[in-house]
Structure 1
Amino acid sequence: MAGLAARHPETFRRVTAARARGVTVILAAIALLGFGLWRLDFSPGRIAGGFGQLVHFLGLMLPPDPGTWSRTVLILRGLAETLAIAFLGTLLAALIAFPLGFLAARNTSVNRLVQFLSRRVLDSIRGVDALIWALIWVSVVGLGPFAGVLAIMTSDIGTFGKLFSEAIEAADRKAVEGVTSAGGGKLAGIRFGVLPAVLPVMAGHVLYMFESNTRSSSIIGIVGAGGIGLMLSEMIRTLEWGVVAFIVLLILVTVAVIDTISGRLRAALAGVQPR
């Protein structure tokens, strides 16, 4: 041990450069957390005091009650509109992002410049939240579900473009090399070597985003982009807590059903047994 310590002193030091850097990073993160809590006026007392108010609101929301049959029909119509917004927005985004994913992938792009510009455009689109896009499109095309579809579509183009390009770059190159060795060009390599490998992955991403966009569509409706979110916002403003609970419960059940179905479809596409 003495000989090893003499030959490798850096390894046997209690405080090495790597350990010092790790400790420094941890301390900096703790300091940043503390500063953020102080700067944002974080107060455990306010949280503890707010639990009583939370229990009060939960009591007002029980039992969930839509009120009248006509209101129930309106709520179900709003939920159907929310699902339509999520479905159309997700589908349009996937169709637009499909070619962009190939342009943004290193192994299928035209050249490095096109690949770099495509990545930056997708990053810029993805950097804006769907709620902000909803506010923009409501200002452009007016209130209603059309603005919601455009908001979901625009927001998801960036996400799908990134996911698709990463799936394309991760595809096994052996199939492409086989097509090339048989005399095929670059397009043939993409068509017969890359596409069969990445299409199931892309379909899984689309199914997952449809599930996620069902929740997002409920939120963007609050700013006037259609769907059940607008009715939820109105019920909260008018203090109709029983109706609010009914709408929230309906959204939770819908998301759970979609999650179950999409999970089974993703498992089938991946060739694994669903849980």
Structure 2
Amino acid sequence: MSLQPVSIETMRQRHPEIFAPAWRRNRAGIVVVGGLVALLVYGLASLGFLHPRMIEGLGKLFSVFGMMLPPDPGTLERAFIYLKALGETLAIAFLGTLLGAMLAFPIGFLAARNATVGRVVHFLTRRSLDTLRGVDVLVWALIWINVVGLGPFAGVLALMTSDIGSFGKLFSEAIEAADKRPVEGVLSTGGGAVHRVRFGILPEVLPVMAGQVLYFIESNTRSASIIGIVGAGGIGMHLAEQIRVLEFQHVAFIIVLVLIAVAIIDWISTRLRLALIGTKRVAVA
């Protein structure tokens, strides 16, 4: 039986949806994209991005940058003061992150579906972590300043409180994503719930958790600089003071110090993370 050729016009009549213009087939997507663009334009206009003062502000921004060059602490004594404050900031970031991770470690197991002790505990733990994580670290700093007073202790408590919520969520997700085969192997040999966690889950998730902690130390160095502005210790207080008195060269020097510290921490954490990954691969092999 021979096949008769079908003309394009015949195919067009049989399958009009295939030959329809692309914009007709994707009308829903075009409407969504158009709505998002309109919302973006409305947001930019209502918030002042399309106002002439935005252009004037850009000109002032370049003039401020000009006043910040070259970065200069003023005197050698003031440079040492800034370095000491930077060390305090690093201590706040390290202690706040470490305490938050230590407290979130057991909470992460309660918030994980495959390791919790019950649905009610899982639900309450998840909602508690949402509450801690939903409040910004700057708000926690203001709260703890009113509780324990000004200083680095309030900064450590603020970072710790915020990080408990973040670490609890990340740890629980790492636990839920752990490979089930080691757990099944432990249970098949007669292991209990504690053995399942100790020998089945922990070896899988510890390198992941350690990598998350290393990243948060770097991230919290920036956060510790910000919360210092509201009186939670560290170099942020000096930064806010120099901005208020328009000493922009001092401001630039402080910003450069923070950037150098973050870059060094990032380099160290990358090396440690790679070492952890290599250790995990050797253990698996």
Superposition TM-score, scaled by structure 2 size: 0.88
| CA distance 1:243–1:25, shift in 2 (3 Å) | same
| CA distance 1:52–1:105, shift in 2 (3 Å) | same
State which of 73, 91, 106 in structure 1 corresponds to 2:98.
91
The amino acid of 2:225's aligned partner reads S
Give the drift of 1:38.
2.1
1:122 aligns with 2:96: no
The amino acid of 2:74's aligned partner reads G
Q: Percent identity?
A: 62
State which of 176, 179, 183 in structure 1 corresponds to 2:183.
176
| CA distance 1:232–1:260, shift in 2 (3 Å) | same
The residue aligned with 1:81 is 88
Preserved CA contact (<8 Å) 1:10 1:16: no
| CA distance 1:165–1:11, shift in 2 (3 Å) | farther
State which of 47, 50, 60 in structure 1 corresponds to 2:57.
50
| CA distance 1:51–1:199, shift in 2 (3 Å) | same
The amino acid of 1:236's aligned partner reads I
Give the drift of 1:31.
2.0
State which of 33, 37, 42 in structure 2 corresponds to 1:30.
37
Give RMSD over aligned pairs.
2.3
SS state at 2:74 partner: coil
Moved more, 206-215 or 131-140: 131-140
State which of 155, 161, 167 in structure 1 corresponds to 2:168.
161
Q: Deviations over 1:24-81 (max 9, x none)?
A: 3212211221221122122264333223212221221122111122211211110000
Q: Structure 2 CA distance, aligned partners of 1:22 and 1:114? A: 42
- Paired residues for 1:124-143 under 5 Å: 124-143=131-150
1:220 aligns with 2:227: yes
1:106 aligns with 2:113: yes
The amino acid of 2:171's aligned partner reads F
The residue aligned with 2:216 is 209
| CA distance 1:78–1:173, shift in 2 (3 Å) | same
State which of 31, 39, 46 in structure 2 corresponds to 1:39.
46
Larger radius of gyration: 2
Q: Deviations over 1:133-190 (max 9, x none)?
A: 1111111111000000001001111110111011001000000000000000122111
| CA distance 1:182–1:11, shift in 2 (3 Å) | farther
| CA distance 1:24–1:199, shift in 2 (3 Å) | same
Preserved CA contact (<8 Å) 1:101 1:162: yes
Segments of structure 2 that go 5 or more residues without pairing to the other structure are 1-5, 280-285
The amino acid of 1:132's aligned partner reads V
SS state at 2:62 partner: helix
The amino acid of 2:160's aligned partner reads M
State which of 6, 21, 46 in structure 1 corresponds to 2:28.
21
| CA distance 1:7–1:263, shift in 2 (3 Å) | farther
| CA distance 1:173–1:18, shift in 2 (3 Å) | farther
Q: Structure 1 CA distance, aligned partners of 2:15 and 2:178? A: 42
The amino acid of 1:232's aligned partner reads L
Superposition TM-score, scaled by structure 1 size: 0.91
Moved more, 46-55 or 110-119: 46-55
1:66 aligns with 2:66: no
Preserved CA contact (<8 Å) 2:224 2:234: yes
